[in-house]
């Protein structure tokens, strides 16, 4: 591993689906490593904190950072003192780290030594001494959460004719809550600032004390439209801890479920994007296809959104011959109809006028911000775990990555169309080549172990980090959504566009509010 510091002793972690290493570092080594990763044009995957005082009173807290290197996943741990839990600001090489650092401060009280010091998850109704992921934090009585107004320190844009437009956090539709503060001149957006954290669910706290086998159900509900990816990533982490090896057939079934989840979301997004430019025909047609798609999920696999189908050790449901034929037949129908709808979208002058050049994120900006997933691929960023670090069965399927260069709404639409076509091809291959055999192996608890799961969901890569305690139960669980990397890019994408185009730009990203608010 060429970019790894020689002074750091890396421990290879066995039993992981992708090559994984871990190491404990000091602040100086962490800074040097981040500089080397940035120079090599690799990326930060996730950043989170933990309370270690139950293990070592002198250790205090810890900061954990995961990186995507050419060789695989590298996870570093920086011990922090109890008296002064401060860590290096990593937002200069990795801008996406800024909000993750603010979340660490809000949840365990450790803070970066520079950068943005405003709260991220913490709102005015949190008690001042409340850090939900500290081990000595008691369960909080709801009466302590008395509603109060908050004067959040939004960045103001000054000047003649500049006005602010506040949108949310409660929206007119059924989307999750998020606040958007626009600074505009007429209808032109000068600046957009987001304030999220309104859906905080306590998931990371809930993981503590759960058995390994129980946690997959919770992980699958971090972000409901990404339940398959989270359940698979969680299961990978649990299997690495327990030493369990899923049967080959189970891995192929997992890939089948993941690609069906990818297509379901792309179909929905393409319909909503048509609706946002007043092409209600597009909404009706794509939602019809999506409804047929998820109804067959329920018929073949027992759940429309495929929740709880992936479990540690394998899968909870098999595919019989009749189900396989139904999936193949539906795939042929969807391919034919999506091609026709793509031709309509491509040739619709009004739609293309609204899509082209709107909400553009250049390749240079996407690279600087660390944008990932389908949004990154629409801005010429070649990140896809199925190709970069393929786990079984993707190492045999050889998926083709789909990219565009223009980085606008039109490019993000084209990536969705291309990914539907590729996912349909993968589904046909999976069904035709799926091995026979069992679909689940036993997963046993194992004390004082850690494991990582890493899967390319439909938005981008999902990371799940697990650690067990002395009793073999979960001591710390962290789930990372790709929306962390992409929310900041949405702020840039809105600049110099008109305010009425923001819903279109926002939908073209389609990021998760709850996925980054655990």
Question: Tens digit of pLDDT per residue, the chain (518 long)?
Answer: 556 555 788 999 999 999 999 999 999 999 999 999 999 999 999 999 999 998 876 679 999 999 999 999 999 999 999 888 999 999 999 999 999 999 999 999 999 999 999 999 988 878 888 899 999 888 766 555 666 777 888 999 999 999 999 998 887 777 788 899 999 999 999 999 999 988 888 899 999 999 999 999 999 999 999 999 999 999 999 999 999 999 999 999 999 999 999 999 999 999 999 999 999 999 999 999 999 999 999 999 999 999 999 999 999 999 999 999 999 999 999 999 999 999 999 999 999 999 999 999 999 999 999 999 999 999 999 999 999 999 999 999 999 999 999 999 999 999 999 999 999 999 999 999 999 999 999 999 899 999 999 999 999 999 999 999 999 999 999 999 999 999 999 999 999 999 999 999 999 999 999 898 88
402: helix, strand or coil: coil
Which two three-digit tokens encode residue 289?
A: 């296809």
Is residue 134 within 8 A of residue 51, CB to CB? The reply is: yes
Is residue 463 within 8 A of residue 516, CB to CB? The reply is: no
Residue numbers of the domain that contains 516: 167-199+483-496+505-518
pLDDT at 74: 96
The CA distance from 460 to 457, in Å, is 5
Instruction: Name every residue whose Cβ is closer than 8 Å to that of residue 93 and which is 6 or more positions away in sequence.
Output: 34, 35, 37, 38, 44
- Distances from the Cα of 414 to the Cαs of 57, 161, 267, 406, 422, in angstroms? 53, 37, 12, 10, 12
HSE (side-chain half, CA atoms, 13 Å) at 235: 27
Domain total of the chain: 3
Residue 86 class from Cβ within 10 Å (0-12 exposed, 13-18 middle, 19+ buried)?
middle
Which two three-digit tokens encode residue 320?
A: 């019989």
The CA distance from 457 to 362, in Å, is 23
Same domain, 112 and 217: no
Same domain, 287 and 417: yes
The CB density around residue 406, as the number of other CB atoms within 10 Å, is 18
Q: Is residue 224 part of a domain?
A: yes
Same domain, 276 and 311: yes
DSSP state of 473: S
Q: Within its chain, how far is the Cα of 232 from the centroid?
A: 13
Is residue 121 within 8 A of residue 197, CB to CB? The reply is: yes
Same domain, 468 and 416: yes
The bridge status of strand 72-80 relative to strand 20-24 is parallel
Q: Is residue 3 part of a domain?
A: no
How many residues does this entry show for the chain?
Answer: 518
What does the pLDDT look like over 60-107, one tens digit per residue? 999 999 999 999 999 999 999 988 899 999 999 999 999 999 999 999
Same domain, 239 and 250: yes
> DSSP of 53-120, one letter per residue?
TTT-TTT-EEEEEEEEETTEEEEEEEEE-SS--EE---TTT-TTHHHHHHHHHHHH--EESSS--S-S
Is residue 359 within 8 A of residue 508, CB to CB? The reply is: yes
Which two three-digit tokens encode residue 55?
A: 């293990």
What does the pLDDT look like over 400-413, one tens digit per residue? 999 999 999 999 99
The pTM assigned to this predicted structure is 0.96
The CA distance from 120 to 122, in Å, is 6
The CA distance from 264 to 132, in Å, is 35
pLDDT at 141: 61
Same domain, 413 and 510: no
pLDDT at 126: 81
Same domain, 257 and 305: yes
Is residue 96 within 8 A of residue 366, CB to CB? The reply is: no
Is residue 50 within 8 A of residue 108, CB to CB? The reply is: yes
The CA distance from 61 to 83, in Å, is 10
Same domain, 116 and 221: no
- Annotate 235-270 with b (16+ C-beta within 10 A) or e (fewer): bbbbbbbbebebbbbbbbbbbbbbbbbbbbbbbbbb
Q: What angle do CA 402, 406, 412 make, to 5 degrees?
A: 50
- CATH (domain of 303): 1.10.645.10
299: helix, strand or coil: helix
Same domain, 438 and 302: yes
Q: Is residue 148 part of a domain?
A: no
The CA distance from 285 to 428, in Å, is 23
């Amino acid at each position: 591993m060429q970019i790894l510091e020689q002074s750091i002793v890396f421990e290879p972690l066995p039993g992981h689906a992708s090559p994984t290493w871990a190491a404990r570092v000091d602040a100086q080594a962490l800074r040097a490593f981040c500089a080397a990763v940035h120079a090599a044009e690799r990326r930060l995957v996730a950043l989170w904190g933990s309370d270690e005082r139950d293990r070592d009173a002198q250790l205090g807290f810890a900061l954990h950072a995961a990186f995507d290197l050419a060789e695989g996943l590298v996870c570093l741990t920086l011990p922090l003192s109890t008296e002064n839990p401060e860590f290096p600001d990593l937002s200069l090489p990795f801008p996406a780290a800024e909000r993750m650092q603010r979340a660490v401060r809000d949840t365990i009280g450790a803070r970066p030594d520079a950068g943005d010091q405003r709260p991220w998850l913490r709102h005015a109704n949190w008690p001042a001494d409340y850090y939900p992921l500290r081990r000595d934090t008691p369960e909080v009585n709801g009466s302590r959460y008395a509603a109060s107004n908050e004067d959040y320190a939004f960045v103001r844009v000054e000047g003649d004719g500049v006005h602010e437009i506040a949108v949310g956090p409660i929206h007119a539709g059924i989307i999750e809550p998020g606040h958007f503060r626009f600074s505009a001149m007429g209808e032109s957006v000068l600046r957009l600032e987001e304030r999220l954290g309104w859906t905080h669910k306590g998931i990371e706290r809930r993981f503590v004390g759960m058995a390994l086998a129980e946690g997959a159900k919770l992980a699958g509900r971090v972000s409901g439209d990404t339940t398959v990816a989270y359940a698979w990533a969680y299961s990978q982490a649990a299997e690495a801890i327990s030493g369990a090896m899923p049967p080959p057939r189970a891995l192929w079934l997992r890939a089948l479920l993941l690609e069906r989840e990818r297509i379901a979301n792309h179909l929905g997004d393409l319909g909503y994007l048509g609706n946002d430019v007043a092409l209600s025909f597009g909404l009706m047609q794509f939602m019809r296809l999506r409804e047929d798609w998820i109804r067959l999920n329920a018929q073949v696999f027992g759940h429309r959104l495929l929740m709880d189908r992936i479990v540690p050790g394998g899968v909870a449901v098999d595919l019989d011959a009749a189900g396989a034929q139904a999936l193949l037949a539906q795939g042929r129908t969807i391919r034919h109809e999506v091609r026709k709808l793509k031709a309509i979208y491509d040739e619709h002058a009004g739609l293309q006028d609204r899509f082209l050049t709107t909400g553009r994120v250049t390749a240079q900006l996407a690279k600087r911000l660390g944008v990932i997933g389908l949004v990154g691929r629409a801005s010429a960023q070649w990140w896809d775990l199925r190709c970069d670090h393929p786990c079984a069965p993707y190492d045999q399927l050889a998926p083709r990555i789909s990219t565009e260069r223009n980085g606008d709404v039109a490019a993000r639409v084209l990536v969705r169309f291309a990914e539907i076509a590729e996912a349909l091809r993968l589904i046909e291959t999976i069904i035709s080549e799926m091995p026979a055999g069992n679909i689940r192996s036993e997963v046993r608890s194992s004390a004082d172990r850690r494991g990582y799961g890493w899967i390319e969901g439909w938005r981008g890569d999902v990371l799940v980090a697990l650690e067990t305690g002395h009793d073999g139960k979960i001591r710390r669980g962290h789930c990372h959504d790709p929306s962390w990397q992409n929310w900041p890019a949405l702020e840039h994408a809105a600049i110099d566009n008109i305010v009425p185009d923001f819903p279109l730009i926002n939908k073209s990203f389609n990021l998760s509010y709850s996925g980054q608010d655990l």
